[in-house]
């Protein structure tokens, strides 16, 4: 059971980080909507699908595998690194929902609306730097989360020197 949970947790973490990387690359390749609206809209639709079908499900499954692992493996109950992984996963979940998925879904819908009504083009591409920053920040937190699982630091306090 332990190996199955570890495998599931690892695979979903790989999928999550892969989705972050792909979204970042696609984000960097987005054309200016005023110059190529149909390409911009197609790129945004692809990003929205990756966020909805891969990014969020892989994160939720990773969280569930991690929680089941913490419940089943008694050695994880009092392990500070396991709780640190849990906290970083919650940060990743909130950051993904608020900083990545929600803005990408909204922007994909705006781009689709702009195809039908070019007057709405002024609403597009207003938060590109915030989206890119969210991708980088959540990617770094996810990398730290993986590092915690690989190296499993002890987080022990150093003995105080007596004076």
Q: CA-CA distance, 23 to 43, in Å (whole number)? A: 10
The answer to whether 104 and 131 have CB atoms below 8 angstroms apart is yes
Residue 158 resides in a domain: no
Mean pLDDT per 10-residue run, the chain (163 residues)? 91 96 97 95 98 96 93 89 91 96 96 94 93 97 93 70 59
| pLDDT of the residue at 145 | 94
Q: CA-CA distance, 44 to 26, in Å (whole number)? A: 9
Residue 162 resides in a domain: no
Give the domain range for residue 137.
2-151
Residue 143 resides in a domain: yes
| pLDDT of the residue at 142 | 96
Number of folded domains that form the chain: 1
Gyration radius of the chain's alpha carbons? 20
Report H helices in 96-127. 102-116
| pLDDT of the residue at 161 | 63
């Amino acid at each position: 059971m332990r190996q199955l949970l570890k495998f599931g947790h690892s695979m979903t973490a790989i999928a999550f980080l892969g989705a972050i990387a792909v979204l970042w690359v696609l984000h960097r390749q987005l054309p200016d909507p005023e110059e190529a609206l149909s390409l911009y809209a197609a790129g945004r639709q692809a990003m929205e699908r990756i966020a909805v079908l891969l990014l969020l499900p892989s994160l939720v499954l990773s969280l569930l595998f991690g929680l089941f692992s913490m419940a089943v493996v008694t050695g994880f109950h009092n392990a500070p690194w396991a709780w640190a992984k849990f906290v970083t996963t919650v940060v990743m979940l909130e950051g993904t929902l608020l900083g990545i998925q929600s803005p990408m879904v909204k922007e994909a819908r705006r781009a689709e609306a702009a195809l039908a009504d070019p007057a709405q083009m002024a609403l597009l591409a207003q938060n590109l730097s915030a989206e890119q920053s969210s991708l980088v920040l959540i990617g770094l937190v996810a990398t730290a989360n993986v590092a915690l699982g690989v190296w499993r630091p002890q987080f022990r306090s150093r003995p105080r020197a007596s004076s």
